[in-house]
Structure 1
Amino acid sequence: MTLPYKHVLVAVDGSKEAEWAFKKSVGIAKRNNATLNLVNIIDTRSFAAIEAYDRSIAERAEKFADGLLGGYKKEAEAAGVTDVNILVAYGSPKTVIPREIAPKVEADLIVCGATGLNAIERFLIGSVSEQIVRASRCDVLVVRTEEHAEVNA
């Protein structure tokens, strides 16, 4: 017996892994007639020191997020997903996604790309996808890139 997903949350950041996760989430949302929630988290830690000198960093990050999510929304709607929401939030993606955004949209599935961090960064701070899996109260699908899927097929 399979349970249908009604509120799919997909985290996108412009990476290839996130694009592949988006494509998978569109198929899942379409098959389940689910709401697709597209989220981009602007990681404030990554530009906090620079922003002291250049106040436009946050504005540019928000503009990028709006453009990215808007493009994905159009693509999802063109593919047949009827209910698509976009969300932009600030903070650490590894905590904001599972603890704030997922409950807010009543997500029953979170889709995210596999990490792009190198081994040293993963050792020191852990991957975003790993933390989402650990902290989420719903199912999580971690998607590899298309290249990984072809190699492992």
Structure 2
Amino acid sequence: MEQNYRSILVPVDGSKNAEKALEKAIEIAKRNNSSLEILNVIDTKQFTNNFGGIISISGDVVYSTFETVKQYLEKLKERILKDGFNNVEVHARFGSPRVVIAKDFVDDYPIDLIVLGKTGMSTVSRIFVGSVTDGVIRTASCDVLVVG
């Protein structure tokens, strides 16, 4: 039995693996006449400095990062629209990528497929913190397709 997907989420981060996942998600969305939700999660851990238990977040750095992400997402959307696929939206969220992708975003939108790239982290990093992809596979409440 073939699965039909109505709403597809593809998280992107500018990596080659994310680009491959985006291309695959576009193919699936076209075949299924689905909506495509493109998401970039800005990991808030990257903005913190911990000095003696005091956490500091620079507003200028956060704003600059958000503006860069917004421009990146708008360029992706523009490229997809030029290729003739019109049912696409872009989103930027702050938080833990694993949680936002697998839980928060799926709770807010009727996502029935997540298409994401395989991890780009080193083996050592995966051992200690795990990959976003592994976390999404384990916790998502919908189908997940990992593109290699």
Q: Which moved more, 1:124-133 or 1:60-69?
A: 60-69
In structure 2, which of residues 75, 80, 84 is the aligned counterpart of residue 76 of structure 1? 80
The Cα shift of 1:52 comes to 3.0
TM-score after normalising by structure 1: 0.88
The one-character-per-residue Cα deviations of 1:61-116 (angstroms, maximum 9, x if unpaired) are 10111111111111222222221111111011011111100221211000111111
Percent identity (aligned): 36
For residue 66 of structure 2, what is the aligned residue in structure 1?
Answer: 62
2:44 and 2:138 map into 1 onto residues whose CA distance is: 22
TM-score after normalising by structure 2: 0.91
For residue 126 of structure 1, what is the aligned residue in structure 2?
Answer: 130
For residue 40 of structure 1, what is the aligned residue in structure 2?
Answer: 40
Aligned Cα root-mean-square deviation (Å): 1.5
1:68 and 1:14 map into 2 onto residues whose CA distance is: 8
For residue 90 of structure 1, what is the aligned residue in structure 2?
Answer: 94
Runs of 4 or more consecutive aligned structure 1 residues displaced over 6 Å after TM superposition: none
The Cα shift of 1:53 comes to 6.9
Q: Which blocks of at least 5 consecutive residues in structure 2 are unaligned?
A: none
For residue 6 of structure 1, what is the aligned residue in structure 2?
Answer: 6
Decide which structure has greater helix share.
Answer: 1
Q: Which blocks of at least 5 consecutive residues in structure 1 are unaligned?
A: 145-153
Size of the aligned set, in residue pairs, is 144
